[in-house]
Amino acid sequence: MPAGEPYPFRCSAAGADDDTDHVLTRVLDPAALPAVGPLKHDFLAAETNPFVKYRKLLASYHAALAGGLGDAEFVALVRRLDDAVAAVDGQGFRVTPFRPRRVLAHELGMPRLWVKDETANVAGSHKARHLMGLAIWLEVQRALGTAGEPRPLAIASCGNAALAAAVVAVAAARPLAVFVPAHADPAVVGRLERLGATLTRCPRQPGAGGDPSYRRFREAVAAGALPFTCQGPENGLVLEGGETLAFEMISVLIEHAVELDVLAVQVGGGALATAVARGFEEARVLGLVRRLPRLVTVQSEGAAPLARAYDLVAERLVAAAGGDPPRGRRARAEWILESVPAAAVEEALRYAAAHRQAFMWPWEQEPRSVATGILDDETYDWLALVRAMLVTGGVPLVVSERVLKEANTLARRFAGIAVDATGSAGLAGLLALAAAGGTAGAEDLAVLSTGVSR
Ligand SMILES: Cc1ncc(COP(=O)(O)O)c(C=O)c1O
């Protein structure tokens, strides 16, 4: 990104209608970071605010320092904003629990099942992490005097992301426009209105594919609003706030000298899984973990555009390699991992990035599932997830409504977490994987319980 750029959110070539997946990705410069020893020290520190604890891995921190702010000023800025969040929501950002759930693991016949519990996070889900990361960036620009004229914030969402955006926007004293579907949950709409957000209802138009709220959100951004959203292609910086979840998991794993074998993450728009996968990848580059867990992504039968895209990339890869892998997604994933050179994988991903519509397009039917938070028409952050699955030997799972409900009952009963069906969808993925024999040999498995049941 150009130094001093206040809004490095979207690739300048995005929207050129060139069928290319333009995503701005922040890249860590290990030379500008502490060595692994001091980093581990930070990871094991008792600090409870994740945006303070992992600040050296935030782009906003480096922008602040490059602009002349000191470490203490950055920390004070984060704590001020966090206090304002607490004044709105009753709580600020704290490291959330990540620990083995023995009763649940025993019930499922798994050796060790680690659960990251986000149900007590700000606004009741992990979503606020994405938006706090972005709000800190915006506050840094304000402090540096580089923000220019005040601009409103915009998001398209009908649930957790909108609630999280509204809480953080009030804390940052910024107006927020929320584009919601015609049939948004009245309880969510009421809370958004009480938080002062400006709501626009966006009915589906017959014959027009894709999410109408998303289209209206894009129009608002084109008119000057800042994308205060949870989709990486709309704003690459939202991913790094989500990465704090992975860093917290890694802190606990370091403490217990454990490496995860399997990580199952529910996928709607894909920002959550992308952020967590990237957090692990960066931690490996920095020497904080030795190997990456197998990434298993989880969607419902109601909408599974990521699984479709993954299959198309994997089939292309197999055809290019001229191989004959065994049948089935898992066997093919292992074959790719063992037999296809990394350069060929990168080449296939480059092709997919430049031919987006051949791999990712809106789900044809209006998506429906008990897991309402993973019903996005498209997996906006799809490409990073396809890569993460290919390089870790993971697979996309598409789970039935029955398994989604069963997982929710199990999480509530045996882990005592008041999670909703979206929040326990990762666990549903593990159930499906285990039923197909895909967890054999795995010692440490993990899921995230992402959203509280309202
Ligand atoms: C509770 C919860 N978990 C998971 C997700 C999926 O996150 P993403 O859309 O980033 O894939 C959502 C999205 O709304 C959610 O609300």
Q: What is the pLDDT of residues 175-224, one digit of tens each?
A: 999 999 888 889 999 999 999 999 999 998 777 767 889 999 999 999 99
* Of 158, 295, 450, 452, best ligand 1 pocket probe by most atoms within 8 Å of the beta carbon: 450
Specify the pLDDT at position 17.
66
Pair 371, 377: CB distance under 8 Å: no
In this structure, the residue with its CA closest to atom 14 of ligand 1 is 373
What is d(CA 84, CA 81) in angstroms, rounded to the nearest whole number? 5
Nearest residue (CA) to ligand 1, atom 1:
451
- Cα–Cα nearest to 372, from 185, 127, 118: 185
Convert the pLDDT of each residue in 346-379 to its tens digit: 999 999 999 999 999 999 988 899 999 999 989 9
Nearest Cα residue to 364 out of 249, 209, 229, 236? 209
Could you tell which of 115, 125, 188, 397 is best to mutate to test the pocket of ligand 1, judged by most ligand atoms within 8 Å of the CB? 125
For residue 422 and ligand 1, the question of a CB distance below 6 A is answered with yes
The CA-based angle 219-224-226, given to 5 degrees, is 90
CA of 208 to the centre of ligand 1 (A): 24
Q: How far is the CA of 315 from the centre of ligand 1 (A)?
A: 28
- pLDDT confidence of residue 29: 84
For 98-123+239-449, CATH number out of 3.10.20.90, 3.40.50.410, 3.40.640.10, 3.40.50.1100 equals 3.40.50.1100
Which residues pair with residue 297 across a beta bridge?
A: 265, 396
272 Cβ closer than 6 Å to some ligand 1 atom: yes
pLDDT of residue 431: 98
Listed as ranges, residues in the chain with pLDDT below 70 are: 1-3, 15-18, 209
Q: Which of 119, 121, 163, 266 most suits a substitution to test ligand 1, by most atoms within 8 Å of the C-beta?
A: 266
| Ramachandran category for residue 222: left, alpha or beta (phi over 0 → left; psi -120 to 50 → alpha) | alpha
CA 372 to ligand 1 centroid distance, Å:
9
Pairing outcome for strands 444-449 and 176-181: unpaired
- In Å, the largest CA–CA distance within the chain is 60
Atom of ligand 1 nearest to the CA of 373: 14
What pLDDT does 2 receive? 56
